[in-house]
Amino acid sequence: MSRLAARAPRPSTVTAGILLAGLAACSFASAGYVASQLVGDGASGMVVAFYESLFGLALLFAVNMRALSRGAQPPRNGILWGLAAGVAYAFAIGAFYTSLERIPFSVAAPITGAVPLASYAFVLLLLRGSERITRRAALGAAMVVAGVAMVGVSA
């Protein structure tokens, strides 16, 4: 019993992860709202996205200076996957802010709520065997996407 208890996963870790993801959702939505006020006001979506990521990088370095100074050389595999993710995010942010030049934030933002569906499709391709999609997770994701679609249609 005690061994089982020692090996049992900690739901609090998952809960903390869920809360952090919620905080991230609020932060991204706020950044998107500010972007919608900036785009088209003498600057293109790409330029806004560039300066946002440039300032973000500077702030990240400032916050994590100590951790960086004692950081070990990362493995090559990790670097390559990280670089690929960086390019994908650049396409994503650039496309989103460029879309804000043509459609309102209240229309563009709900469309990005379908990211879970896109993630699940790519999980099946790239993370098969290491991440599992449970029925309940699929149902929850479908409900989130349906809700986002309703918000989008009403917008």
Q: Which of residues 95-154 bind other proteins (CB under 8 A)?
A: 95-96, 98-103, 105-123, 125-127, 130-134, 136-137, 139-154
Q: Between 6 and 71, whose beta carbon lies closer to other proteins?
A: 71
The Cα 144–Cα 43 span in angstroms is: 33
Which residue, 2 or 50, has its beta carbon nearer to other proteins? 50
Smallest gap from residue 2 Cβ to other proteins (A)? 18
Q: Which of 1, 6, 21, 65 binds other proteins (CB under 8 A)?
A: 21
Residues 33-52 that bind other proteins (CB under 8 A): 33-35, 37-38, 41-44, 46-52
| DSSP single-letter state for residue 146 | H
- CA atoms 54, 24, 119, 127: torsion sign: positive
